[in-house]
Amino acid sequence: MAFVSATAASPASLLLSTPSAVRGVAGTCANLVPRRPLMAPLRAAKGSNSAPVVMESKVKSKKKKGSGAGNLPGALDVEIREAQEYLDSDEQEPVPDNFPFEILDEEGLSVVILKRDYKDEKIEAIISMPNLEGGPEFDDEDGEGDGENAGKDVEEEEDDDESAGDSSISLKVVVSKDSGPKLEFTCTAFREEITIDDMLIVEKTEAEGEENFPYEGPEFTELPVNVQKGLFKFLEQRGITLSTTNFMHDYMVTKQTKEYIRWMTKLKDFVRQ
């Protein structure tokens, strides 16, 4: 099964780190400190507040002399050029014919929204930028690397290859009907598995902005094993599968690079005015 089951997951695969979506607000995706995980066969991911999310450069740069050294516009030009070279070499896979969702991707935003109808339900998945564990970064030192530094670069590249499998995306999946409550799942998708970090039943309030304090239910890992497995199957039937999340992972890596170039270009235009 594509999802992590409570019986099959190894201890190493259960310690995850991902940004979670804000509870109770469909269409919003932000970092959240999840409820404290308890000891259980399947554990929720660690909170994302342990370190800030950093947009990383996608290609390994060589140390340079010249216009990029101590010169902000020059450094920005170098960064934009190399990110663009990476983007040009990155062949974006077309959307599969059997892809179950409509993709809503707006320039300048850090998320992509997936939408579909399933029977009498509306499914919405909010996909965040990828968490590229161990991803390569630009060197920030000037000058050509000597033998010692070159050796470090080789070691770093090997580490990057070993940790590439840790790359993941976080997504909030909202399942709603015309009336009644809706289900909200906070998930983390790796290449080989999908985990459910949290699940909520969100009741509709009569008055907008009305504050209430509903019972949020137990921790996901405190649910009976058969209920956990059933919820994994519930999401799978609605299109949250490894084929979907693996395609979206690659899609979001490309989007992150595009947004990075757009952001750096805005910064360059500002400092040159």
Share of the chain above pLDDT 90, in %: 51
Q: What integer is the mean pLDDT of 22-38?
A: 40
Strand, coil or helix: 262: helix
Q: What integer is the mean pLDDT of 38-58?
A: 40
**199-208 confidence digits (pLDDT tens):** 999 987 766 6
Strand partners, 104: 113
Q: What integer is the mean pLDDT of 209-216?
A: 75
pLDDT band at residue 149 under the 50/70/90 scheme: low
Q: Provide the pLDDT for residue 212.
A: 74
pLDDT band at residue 21 under the 50/70/90 scheme: very low
Q: How far is residue 267's CA from residue 273's CA, in Å, rounded to a whole number?
A: 10
Query: What single letter denotes the amino acid at residue 138?
Result: F
Q: Provide the pLDDT for residue 252.
A: 96
* Entry pTM: 0.66
SS (HEC) of the chain: CCECCCCCCCHHHHCCECCCCCCCCCCCCCCCCCCCCCCCCCCCCECHHHCCCCCCCCCCCCCCCCCCCCCHHHHHHHHHHHHHHHHHHCCCCCCCCCCCCEEECCCCCCEEEEEEEECCEEEEEEEECCECCCCCCCCCCCCCCCHHHHHHHHHHHHHHHHHHHHCEEEEEEEEECCCCCEEEEEEEECCCCEEEEEEEEECCCCCCCCCCCCCCCCCHHHCCHHHHHHHHHHHHHCCCCHHHHHHHHHHHHHHHHHHHHHHHHHHHHHHCC
**77-118 confidence digits (pLDDT tens):** 999 999 999 999 988 889 999 999 999 999 999 999 999 999
On the question of pLDDT at 41 being above 70, the answer is no
Q: Provide the pLDDT for residue 272.
A: 86
Q: Provide the pLDDT for residue 119.
A: 94
Among the residue ranges 18-22, 131-135, 241-245, 259-263, the one predicted with the least confidence is 18-22
CB 168 within 8 A of CB 188: yes
Q: What integer is the mean pLDDT of 43-61?
A: 42
Q: What integer is the mean pLDDT of 40-59?
A: 41
SS (HEC) of 119-162: CCEEEEEEEECCECCCCCCCCCCCCCCCHHHHHHHHHHHHHHHH
Q: Provide the pLDDT for residue 80.
A: 94
Q: In which residue are the tokens 């009741």 written?
A: 203
Q: What integer is the mean pLDDT of 52-66?
A: 43
Of 260, 238, 45, the closest CA to residue 125 belongs to 238
- The better pLDDT of the pair 252, 204 is held by 252
pLDDT band at residue 120 under the 50/70/90 scheme: very high
CB 236 within 8 A of CB 2: yes
